Structure 1
Amino acid sequence: MRGKDKLLETVDATPLLRVQALRALATQQPVFVAISDHQEERKAVLSGLDVTILTVHNASEGMSGTLRDAVAQLPDADAFMVMLGDLVGIKTTDLQKVLDARQHHRDYLIWRGATDSSEPGHPIIFDASLRPLFADISGDNGAEMVVKSLRNQVFLVPLDGRRARLDLDTPEEWEAWRNSSDIT
């Protein structure tokens, strides 16, 4: 992003991070947002929302450091969902589809959003029994090693189009997305 913070890019005049938090809040589930120590702008865009900010100290290690720190701070629950803040296409209905899949397919340990062509993506719900595995993740692949080790316990939830994987990493990608018909 050439120094710009993509979570502060705007979607319909609202910073993406706030949009994503509002989408998550609309599921009526508790929402926790992982933010590293010195990202005051990110914290500011969440002002007034009923979210709990989890301060992570190892974000410089990549996605795994962030997840490791954040999961360790979560309260006890039967499961937890990981939603990447930069997947601009994820909607509340997508989050709800994955939540519903967990309710209807209880024989699994992981419920994962996928593209309409079955490419695995996000969001992902992990059964609480998997929390200890997050203590050992490393690198910038997030929880991929956890998911791969349990591939037979993953239930894929198809979401419309490529929303489960739509990640905009350059100003040009953002501009193309804003000019496309996929903005809603």
Structure 2
Amino acid sequence: MSKIPILILAAGASSRMRGADKLMQTIDGEALIHRTARIARDTGQPVLVALPPAPHPRHEAIADLDIRRIDVPNAAEGMNASLRAGLARLPEDAEAVMILLADLPEITTADLRKVADAFRPDSDTLIWRGATDNGKPGHPVLFSRSLFGDIARLTGDSGAQSVVSAHKDRVALIPLPGLHALRDLDTPEDWAAWRAGNSPES
């Protein structure tokens, strides 16, 4: 497998949780941020986690894992502050980077490996993206090294969507099971519905 570090974006404020931290919500007794970091680590790839500045409970929640924690002092700017901070700390020999949101409760190590295994450094494709079986794009999103500069110039809270849009004809969708690529839990209602076995809107 090519060397593809996984950058987990976990510096957001959980503003829609009305005072709770969605990444500290538990699944089978495990904090969501720990679950996300653990399944990323289990791919065997380097893992970097963009976090609010320490001290913060999210740091403590993943302290037992052999991963790199990155403080994002300007996290309030939005997601792109985390992207820039993470890219600046990638291993020099990284051929690509996998961007993984921290709030995907159904994503698995096998899913991450499937997206990573689709990467071909000599391909015309520049972006590989997890998707549903019917082709709805989601996460994670893997970017070829040739796009690192474009991502590093992003500002605000748009994520790398503008980079994806600029290269939409060079994106490969990788189908993942069920709603693994889409399911996120942003509100207390989402969490309650998901735990009850329902399907919150994503």
Normalising TM by the smaller chain, what interval?
over 0.9
Q: What is the number of residues matched between the two proteins?
A: 182
Q: Which residue of 1 aligns with 2:102?
A: 85
Aligned pairs for 1:56-67 (under 5 A) are 56-67=72-83
Aligned pairs for 1:68-79 (under 5 A) are 68-76=84-92, 77-79=94-96
Q: Which amino acid aligns with 2:43?
A: T
Structure 2: how far apart are the matches of 1:128 and 1:39?
Answer: 32
- Alignment of 1:173 with 2:187, yes or no, is no
Structure 1: how far apart are the matches of 2:36 and 2:42?
Answer: 10
Distance 1:26 1:181, change over 3 A: farther
Q: Secondary structure at the match of 1:28?
A: coil
Q: Matched residues, percent identical? A: 46
User: What CA deviation, in whole Å up to 9, does each residue of 1:114-160 have, x standing for no partner?
Assistant: 12221111001111111111222122220001111111111100111
Choose 103-112 or 140-149, whichever is displaced more.
103-112
Work out which of the residue numbers 142, 151, 158 in structure 1 matches 2:159: 142
Aligned pairs for 1:17-32 (under 5 A) are 17-32=33-48
Q: CA deviation at 1:20?
A: 0.6
Q: Which amino acid aligns with 1:24?
A: A
- Alignment of 1:155 with 2:157, yes or no, is no
- Alignment of 1:122 with 2:139, yes or no, is yes
Structure 2: how far apart are the matches of 1:72 and 1:152?
Answer: 27
Structure 2: how far apart are the matches of 1:32 and 1:18?
Answer: 13
Structure 2: gaps spanning 5 or more residues: 1-16
Q: Which residue of 2 aligns with 1:12?
A: 28
Structure 1: gaps spanning 5 or more residues: none
Which structure has more helix as a fraction of its residues? 1
Q: Which amino acid aligns with 1:154?
A: V
**Paired residues of 1:55 and 1:70 also in contact (CA < 8 A):** no
Q: CA deviation at 1:106?
A: 3.2
State the TM-score, normalizing by the size of structure 2: 0.85
Structure 1: how far apart are the matches of 2:22 and 2:87?
Answer: 23
Distance 1:114 1:97, change over 3 A: same
Work out which of the residue numbers 42, 45, 60 in structure 1 matches 2:61: 45
Q: CA deviation at 1:104?
A: 9.4
**Paired residues of 1:112 and 1:120 also in contact (CA < 8 A):** yes
Choose 41-50 or 173-182, whichever is displaced more.
173-182
Q: Which amino acid aligns with 2:78?
A: G
User: What CA deviation, in whole Å up to 9, does each residue of 1:72-127 have, x standing for no partner?
Assistant: 22222111111100111111111011011114983311110012221111001111
- Alignment of 1:34 with 2:15, yes or no, is no
Please list every run of at least 4 consecutive aligned residues from structure 1 whose deviation after the TM superposition is greater than 2 angstroms. 103-107
